[in-house]
Amino acid sequence: MHSEVKDDNYYALLGIRGNASAEEIKRAYRKLAMAWHPDRNTAPAAEEKFKRIQYAYEVLRDPPRRAEYDLATRYRWTYVPPETEVKAEAPPSDAAAGTKPGARSAHTAQAEAAAPAAEADPAPAADPPPRTRSKRPARGKTARAPDADAAAEAAGADDAAPAADAPERPSAGDVTRRLWITLEQHLHGYRAKLKITRAEFCKICDGSGVADPTPIPCRKCEGSGEIRKTGFGFFFSLRTTVEICPDCEGKGALPPKCGECGGTGTEVPKSGLLHFDVPPGVRLDAPLRVRGYGKAPRRHERAGDLLVELQLATHPLFEPDFPHLKLKMPISGARALAGGEIQVPTLEGELPARVPAGAGDGAEILLAGHGLLQDPGSHKRGDLKVQLQVVWPGEFTAEQLALLEQLDRSLLADASAMAAFAAWQERRDNARQAAHKGGAAH
């Protein structure tokens, strides 16, 4: 599975030239909008086409945004549009992986340490980042990164579509980002939005920072590799010191800097927003994979992938216990004594639940099927476990005390209904009679 990137040529989409005037852009947009508006066009793809046309017009009608777009599309195949639709590959289901959805893997712990590198620029050629080969088997043309063909074309390669048995190019390296989601988003799915910033390697020097490997004499040391400094020493005597040239590091010559990137090896960083779907019930112990949005590639590499580590944000009410949910809910002492119906919050809203009469503190009621999804793609859900917390006011009002007194008298009037209390009364009466007989004997 590969990412599907919506990266339109806005000028071609509107059917205009790259130097079109503002009036030409407006005329083209109005014509296409009339043809593709969902109210006029009933084709299934009309709404999506209209949105793309509308967005292209919004960019090209705004001079600053148009200038930014024109500059960015100078290297079209590496451009991240301001709004990009991608597909995130979810890890296999828990049933297939044999793990619990809430489990935390060692990979997650390692990824947290690498998370700040998500917006880092690629390293220069003098100290290149470590490269790793993909362990996936070669799958021919379909195994190429989403922008691989365009990359080869931009680099002037003739083999933009290699043979089916060609080995897969090594990855430039993956990048990990962390995304917090709520319990509601985990249950129902989520349309995520993630900002990324990436600096591509220069297309002229391929990240080396030099235009020609043939060295030329260093200007600072004039080819000697040394810098001589003369000054006054002790008793005003002249003293000469020799230091290694900091520019050429004593070599005496340097390759000329690349005129395109000024010797940095990278282009100006570009930012964009990636939009992708987080599926309902997604596993949290393995990342979502967005192909082609990791570290920037050189010519012999393919772009790395973006790994999105999902973590649950703390909920104000619920505590996850996959696939169940726990909820601590306070109820009044009067409701615990009387029992009856209460409204219990769930992820979908409040639902009625019945409290048994005489429920004690810590009693639990169960709402079956109102927990989290047991597995991605499954409709089976865990339960909502509600732990009741019986609470009384710190101080009673006079009215409340009067009502409690009335309740106490009512209960004592028919003590037989309270078996333990009736038994205690019988033992008390027996004790009184025994004490009375003992006193009479003396």
CA distance 93 to 172: 28
Answer for the pair 386, 344: CB distance below 8 angstroms, yes or no: yes
Both tokens assigned to 223: 């080819």
What type of residue is 105? S
What CATH fold (topology level) applies to the domain 318-391?
HSP40/DNAj peptide-binding domain (2.60.260)
CA angle 141, 287, 106 (to 5 degrees): 120
Residue 149 near residue 160 (C-beta atoms within 8 A): yes
pTM of the model: 0.54
Give pLDDT < 50 ranges for the chain. Answer: 1-7, 74-82, 94-165
The CATH superfamily label for domain 62-195+277-312 reads Urease metallochaperone UreE, N-terminal domain (2.60.260.20)
- Helices 63-72 and 46-61 pack at an angle, to 10 degrees, of 100
Rounded to an integer, what is the distance from CA 254 to the centroid of its chain? 44
Do 200 and 295 touch, CB atoms closer than 8 A?
A: no
pLDDT at 214: 75
Distances (CA, A) of 256 to 214, 227, 259: 8, 20, 9
Q: What is the model's pLDDT at position 383?
A: 97
| Those residues with Cβ within 8 angstroms of residue 325's Cβ, 6 or more apart along the chain or in another chain | 183, 318, 319, 347, 370, 371, 372, 382, 383, 384, 385
- The candidate with the shortest Cα–Cα distance to 179, out of 189, 194, 190, is 194
User: What per-residue confidence (pLDDT) applies to 441?
Assistant: 62
Residue 270 to residue 256: CA distance in whole angstroms: 26
Are 281 and 148 contacting, i.e. CB atoms less than 8 angstroms apart? Answer: no
Residue-wise pLDDT for 334-382, tens only, equals: 999 999 999 999 999 999 999 999 999 999 999 999 999 998 878 899 9
3-state secondary structure of 9: coil
pLDDT of residue 87: 66
3-state secondary structure of 428: helix
- DSSP for 193-257 reads EEEEEE-PBPTTTTTS-BS-SS-EE-TTTTTSSEEEEEEE-GGG-EEEEEEE-TTTTTSSEEPPB
| Phi, psi angles (nearest 5°) of residue 92 | -60, 160
Q: DSSP letter string over 146-161? A: TTHHHHHHHTT-S-SS
Task: Look at residue 251 in the predicted model and tell me its pLDDT.
Answer: 81
What string of H, E and C letters represents the secondary structure of 110-145?
Answer: HHHHHHHHHHCCCCCCCCCCCCECCCCCCCHHHHCC
CA 191 to chain centre: 11
Identify the burial level of 395 via C-beta atoms within 10 angstroms of its C-beta, where 0-12 means exposed, 13-18 middle and 19 or more buried.
exposed
**CA 292 to the chain's CA centroid:** 16
Q: Is the peptide bond before 323 cis (omega within 30 degrees of 0)?
A: yes
pLDDT value for 440 = 63
